Chain A
């Protein structure tokens, strides 16, 4: 088997690599796969740059099983997601949900959405030990909450000038999720950081499908709630709690808010945005209120949600 130096010299002669990298064919021990190593899988070679890192406002989480790589044969940037079976409790607002990281679910989903640009693209391949590695095309873009927050204008201007186009694209993204549900699949982790706006095309694209959880009586509800939360974020230009209203100096009378105006799951997030921004149409606000403590009726399907959102695009409503 050729060494890392030889492989790089053959395919990417301009790249400089360290001397002691190794060629890895069995990715089971992913913690030991480091920068400068090459993962050889399915006839292709992936030079590892670093572990992927997830950054939140208060945390930095290194994902040791996700490697940022360059495919030596093509020079393309790729994300290699190695097999890591993990189960954990996801704290979703006030509810704890037992989640599982499922490589085979994500591999199956990649096949299902192949060629559908509403989703990240990639494929899976087995390493020498039979591990199902997912090889993902990296999306150059920005997460949806940062897209709307970074539009340099006040909310009212944003809502009238920018929001209609954003809502239209978001509805398209919701229809993509409805399509998954029609196929009996769930995204599993619909969150603000998993809907990206691609720089080059402006397209909204879903990423990261490897979460699985027990089905319960309403298997698509967690996805649906994720959509509702993103809708609140793009409609408000941020997700608001009483504290963030103060921090962002939003002029709103907090004393007007009562318990029923907040999310029924994320108890400090305001869903009744009309109380903050009175020009938000009632019909649109009513969609948001389906996710509030006030709601007695929830959406049954993602289609029901998207169809109601479509009616909110009608300027006469």
Chain B
């Protein structure tokens, strides 16, 4: 397990940016760290819109926001002296989208945590980092908690939860 190979899972939330900030500060003085920014795309659900056109427009906005966040996160890491060459990005598109994506792998959206762990295993990462919202038990039950699921399910790696 190479704990210096870090998978940093982000969405477009403030908690994710806190995690980015934390990773940047921890690894900035090290030379052998590698950081991969991972974003599992979560598009708005089609049933929330009266027709396909409105849904597609909402998805375009959501995708654009998430990609802008990835750029912002990368800039932040660089600003914190993480070498640009040590940063990579992985954007996993949603399987249920109005776009015609051709990526070999897509997100089913049923468990973001498991998809993060799959990426962890596939990429041979030794550390996974996620932000945490801080939710009540009821909210955790009903809406799910990515960080808790990762804590419970991760094996052979280090888990950093930034709250």
What is the bound-complex CA distance between A199 and B142, given in angstroms? 33
Least distance between B45 CB and chain A CB atoms (Å): 5
Asked if residues B141 and A298 are in contact (CB atoms below 8 Å), the reply is yes
Q: Is A250 an interface residue (CB 8 A)?
A: no
Asked if residues A216 and B144 are in contact (CB atoms below 8 Å), the reply is yes
Asked if residues A264 and B141 are in contact (CB atoms below 8 Å), the reply is yes
What is the bound-complex CA distance between A216 and B144, given in angstroms? 7
Stretch binding the partner chain, chosen from A31-39, A40-48, A95-103: A95-103
Render A255-267 as a binary contact track against B, CB cut-off 8 A, 1 for contact. Answer: 0000000001100
Task: Tally A-B pairs: CB < 8 A.
Answer: 73
Chain A residues lying within 8 Å of B42, measured Cβ to Cβ, are 215
Asked if residues A95 and B111 are in contact (CB atoms below 8 Å), the reply is no
Chain A residues lying within 8 Å of B112, measured Cβ to Cβ, are 217
Nearest-CB residue, chain B, relative to A220 = B110
Q: Is B50 an interface residue (CB 8 A)?
A: yes
Chain A residues lying within 8 Å of B138, measured Cβ to Cβ, are 93-95, 264-265
Chain A residues lying within 8 Å of B48, measured Cβ to Cβ, are 87, 100, 102, 212-214
Q: Is A225 an interface residue (CB 8 A)?
A: yes
Name 5 A/B residue pairs within 8 A (Cβ), A-sorted.
Answer: A215-B45, A216-B142, A217-B113, A217-B144, A298-B141
Nearest-CB residue, chain A, relative to B133 = A217
Q: Is B28 an interface residue (CB 8 A)?
A: no
Render B87-108 as a binary contact track against A, CB cut-off 8 A, 1 for contact. Answer: 0000000001000000000001
Chain A residues lying within 8 Å of B108, measured Cβ to Cβ, are 184
Least distance between B16 CB and chain A CB atoms (Å): 13
Chain A residues lying within 8 Å of B136, measured Cβ to Cβ, are 94-95
Interface size on B, residues (CB 8 A): 26
In the complex with contacts A95-B139, A219-B110, A104-B47 CB distance below 8 A:
yes
Q: Is B44 an interface residue (CB 8 A)?
A: yes
In the complex with contacts A85-B50, A214-B44, A215-B45, A265-B142 CB distance below 8 A:
yes
Chain B residues lying within 8 Å of A100, measured Cβ to Cβ, are 47-48
Asked if residues B45 and A218 are in contact (CB atoms below 8 Å), the reply is no
Render B50-74 as a binary contact track against A, CB cut-off 8 A, 1 for contact. Answer: 1000000000000000000000000
Chain B residues lying within 8 Å of A95, measured Cβ to Cβ, are 136, 138-139, 142
Nearest-CB residue, chain B, relative to A130 = B51
Render B124-156 as a binary contact track against A, CB cut-off 8 A, 1 for contact. Answer: 000000000000111111111110010010000
What is the bound-complex CA distance between A221 and B145, given in angstroms? 11
Q: Is A11 an interface residue (CB 8 A)?
A: no
Nearest-CB residue, chain B, relative to A301 = B110
Asked if residues B143 and A216 are in contact (CB atoms below 8 Å), the reply is yes
Least distance between B117 CB and chain A CB atoms (Å): 13
Q: Is A222 an interface residue (CB 8 A)?
A: yes
* Residue from B111, B137, B146 having most chain A Cβ neighbours under 10 A: B137
What is the bound-complex CA distance between A291 and B137, given in angstroms? 10
Nearest-CB residue, chain B, relative to A298 = B141
Chain A residues lying within 8 Å of B139, measured Cβ to Cβ, are 95
Least distance between A289 CB and chain B CB atoms (Å): 13
Q: Is B109 an interface residue (CB 8 A)?
A: yes
Asked if residues B47 and A225 are in contact (CB atoms below 8 Å), the reply is no
What is the bound-complex CA distance between A212 and B138, given in angstroms? 19
Least distance between B144 CB and chain A CB atoms (Å): 3
**A259-283 interface with B by 8 A CB criterion:** 264-265
What is the bound-complex CA distance between A157 and B129, given in angstroms? 54
Chain A residues lying within 8 Å of B144, measured Cβ to Cβ, are 216-219, 221
In the complex with contacts A100-B47, A104-B47, A214-B44, A225-B141 CB distance below 8 A:
yes
In the complex with contacts A85-B50, A217-B113, A293-B137, A212-B45 CB distance below 8 A:
yes
What is the bound-complex CA distance between A300 and B44, given in angstroms? 22
Least distance between B106 CB and chain A CB atoms (Å): 13
Asked if residues A222 and B142 are in contact (CB atoms below 8 Å), the reply is yes
- With A104-B50, A219-B109, A222-B142 known, 13 other A-B pairs at CB within 8 A are A95-B142, A100-B48, A184-B108, A215-B109, A216-B142, A216-B144, A217-B144, A218-B111, A218-B143, A219-B110, A221-B141, A221-B143, A293-B137
